[in-house]
Amino acid sequence: MFEDTKVAARFSVQDLQRARAFYAEKLGLEPSEERPGGLLYRCGEGEFVLFESGGAASGEHTQMSWEVKDIEATVEWLRGRGVVFEEYDVSGLKTVNDIAEVRDSEGNLFGKGAWFRDSEGNLLGISQPMS
């Protein structure tokens, strides 16, 4: 039933204008639509909404990720715009120069990833699958 539907993410933010500035200045994204208390962004075939709320992001897990063709170039571009990346050195995941190799349970490389937080504490990622 859901396999052919469009998926959209929703993120609560405490300060909508601060979040809007982050997404514009750091990620180069402008909202496609403004709604009362919220902003709609479209990226490729997906979309996400930032909505103002008193709640805070858990920041405990990746809440949204973009798939890119060249993660090294994307990380460099984002660094140049002031994005600060998360560093990890935990069992099975270690970032080197802000990028981690992501492996399956058998140790096979299936992609690379990098993570950062937006102005509201949402944990966002970028990934590059290995073809």
**Could you tell me whether strands 64-67 and 33-35 are parallel, antiparallel, or unpaired per DSSP bridges?**
unpaired
Q: Among candidates 54, 43, 40, 33, which has minimal Cα distance to 10?
A: 40
Q: What is the mean pLDDT of residues 113-122?
A: 95
55, 60, 62, 83 from 126: Cα distances, Å: 25, 16, 10, 12
**Could you tell me whether strands 46-52 and 8-13 are parallel, antiparallel, or unpaired per DSSP bridges?**
parallel
Rounded to whole angstroms, the Cα distance separating 31 from 39 reads 6
Q: Among candidates 27, 16, 130, which has minimal Cα distance to 74?
A: 27
Q: What is the three-class DSSP state of 14? A: coil
Residue, of 88 and 1, whose pLDDT is higher: 88
Question: 44-63 pLDDT, tens per residue?
Answer: 989 999 999 887 777 788 99
Instruction: Please state the pTM of the whole predicted model.
Output: 0.89
What per-residue confidence (pLDDT) applies to 3?
82
pLDDT class of 18 with cuts at 50, 70, 90: very high
